[in-house]
Amino acid sequence: MRLTPFALLLLCGAVQAAPDAVSLEQAGVLYEQHCQSCHGVNRLGGAGPALLPESLSRIKPDEARAVIHDGRPASQMAAFGNRLNSAQIDGLVSYLYQPAATPPTWSDTDIRASHRILADLDSLPSTPQHGADPLNLFVVVEAGNHHVRVLDGDRFEELANFPSHFALHGGPKFSPDGRFVYFASRDGWVSVYDLHNLTMIAEIRAGLNTRNLAVSNDGRWVLVGNYLPGNLVLLDARDLSLVKHIPTLGADGTQSRVSAVYTAPPRDSFVVALKDVKEAWELSYAGEPDFEPRRIEAADFLDDFSFTPDYRHLLATSRKALGGQVIDLDTGKAVTDIPLPGMPHLGSGIYWKRNGDWVFATPNVSKGLISVLDLQSWKLIKEIPTEGPGFFMRSHLNSPYAWTDVFFGPNNDAVHLIDKQTLEVAHTLRPMPGKNAAHVEFTNDGRYALLSVWDTDGALIVYDASTLEEVKRIPMNKPSGKYNVGNKIEFAEGTSH
């Protein structure tokens, strides 16, 4: 038999045949062998995060491939490049982005089984034990290594540093006295931490894929909004025990995911936006509440929203919609459309007084501009050009500037300071050139602004908010949001709600 040169090379081992493609079934077996012990049966998560399509929506398949091959630094995710060939890794990636063969469920029994009490609250002192001003603490989410740091906001020194659940998202929320802080992770874990005693109190898994949570202004309830399963989960704020789940069914019976839930303090209610039905809900927590939703018809599916300073009106957008809408929470009627181009990120919008009248400004995740609205007439006053689309905005009553990042694009190292009266960009800072600068929060008195440089070798940078001089730089691994206890519990002008 005559061998071709290629066959000869193969026989000599000089050319390796490409490994055979792996079917989804085979990939399922690989998952059970290599991944399940950490990522859970049915990919629901365990010591490692959930690996459902909903959980992976923000990660591109190439990134998932690289993580399986190389592992994830500073985590327990090992490299599998030496155990799995390229076809097996490709097969696993395709498998992970497929819906699970058995649709995932998360029942009240599952929620209760996940509940852990980590400290005996009754035996802990009820006054701050750290010697710092409890209303000027900062809670900083360090996203790169899934940790949280607590900083003394007078000295910018660390009081505590502890691991969080994987991928916290949304702003942590506080009890009205500022003692407790509540975190939600994208995988549905909710935790409560005692800032007086710098200790974790309890945790529970309220869903498989969570949007955010809100805490009632009387400190009694935590309401969690979920994508998977689409529902609301009501917890007792003291120890996070499950009170009940509330299915989010539209008036016509359609099941919906929850876009976001916030507390509206002057209304003693939670306000909820639904993603798959055209409704906003208000759930009163006054007195002895039954948490029956008051349905408010919306002009579109709601994705993102904010409130006017008196919490009477809701300013909402849908990612599909052109522009936004104003809903009067008293009458339950849509008031008007608002002319907002691109993809405004209303949840990050802030308001302030300009010439005696309230204005509202929102960043835009698809266009390089800040839209400024007059809250009396709902008219667009100005579109302020920026160096690229942005994510977050922050200000303080005592600051002349609204700080906004340029989160996307080549100029993502820039932060603009907008003069709140002239509506012009007054300063542009580049805290660490070439590295993404994003998310600012002020000290309770507004004297200092803390900014994140969102990079593995990033930092939290403290600026004097008047002179704009750098006061301190604390190295951190992708610090994302940071939250000042006083500003948050006062629902202070210029911060997120």
393 contributes a contact to ligand DHE by CB under 6 A: no
Nearest to 191 by CA among 155, 159, 167: 167
Shortest Å distance, C-beta 11 to ligand DHE? 51
Interface region with ligand DHE, contact rule CB under 6 A, candidates 163-171, 230-238, 366-374, 419-427: 163-171
- Are residues 485 and 172 in contact, defined by beta-carbon separation less than 8 angstroms? no
212 contributes a contact to ligand DHE by CB under 6 A: yes
Q: How far apart are CA 314 and CA 325, in angstroms?
A: 8
Q: How many CA atoms lie within 13 A of 440 on its CB side?
A: 32
Q: How far apart are CA 110 and CA 122, in angstroms?
A: 27
- Are residues 452 and 439 in contact, defined by beta-carbon separation less than 8 angstroms? yes
Which residue's CB is nearer to ligand DHE, number 90 or number 413?
413
263 contributes a contact to ligand DHE by CB under 6 A: no
Positions in 44-63 near ligand DHE (CB under 6 A): 58
In whole angstroms, how large is the CA radius of gyration of the chain? 24
- Give me the long-range contacts of 222-226 (CB less than 8 A, separation at least 24): 222/173, 222/182, 222/190, 222/192, 223/261, 223/263, 223/270, 223/272, 223/283, 224/184, 224/188, 224/190, 224/261, 225/258, 225/259, 225/260, 225/261, 225/272, 226/188, 226/257, 226/258
Which residue's CB is nearer to ligand DHE, number 89 or number 206?
206
Q: How far apart are CA 383 and CA 404, in angstroms?
A: 14
Which residue's CB is nearer to ligand DHE, number 27 or number 235?
235
In the block, tokens 């490299």 appear at 79
Given candidates 91, 324, 347, 458, which one binds ligand DHE under the rule CB under 6 A?
Answer: 347
Window 266-305: contact mask with ligand DHE (x via CB under 6 A): --------------------------------------x-
Interface region with ligand DHE, contact rule CB under 6 A, candidates 42-50, 76-84, 115-123, 167-175: 167-175
Shortest Å distance, C-beta 347 to ligand DHE? 4
391 contributes a contact to ligand DHE by CB under 6 A: yes
Interface region with ligand DHE, contact rule CB under 6 A, candidates 12-20, 124-132, 169-177, 429-437: 169-177
Which residue's CB is nearer to ligand DHE, number 143 or number 402?
143
170 contributes a contact to ligand DHE by CB under 6 A: yes
95 contributes a contact to ligand DHE by CB under 6 A: no
Which residue's CB is nearer to ligand DHE, number 27 or number 402?
402
171 contributes a contact to ligand DHE by CB under 6 A: yes
How many Å separate Cα 364 from the centre of its chain? 16
Shortest Å distance, C-beta 170 to ligand DHE? 3
Nearest to 382 by CA among 428, 418, 423: 423
216 contributes a contact to ligand DHE by CB under 6 A: no
State the DSSP code for 185.
B
Which residue's CB is nearer to ligand DHE, number 81 or number 342?
342
408 contributes a contact to ligand DHE by CB under 6 A: no
State the DSSP code for 364.
B
State the DSSP code for 332.
T
What DSSP string describes 4-70? Answer: PHHHHHHHTTSSPPPPPP--HHHHHHHIIIIIHHHH-GGG--SSSPP-STTTTTTS-HHHHHHHHHH
Which residue's CB is nearer to ligand DHE, number 197 or number 395?
395
Q: Which chain residues interact with ligand DHE by CB under 6 A?
A: 58, 143, 169-171, 211-212, 260, 304, 347, 391-392, 439, 480-481, 496
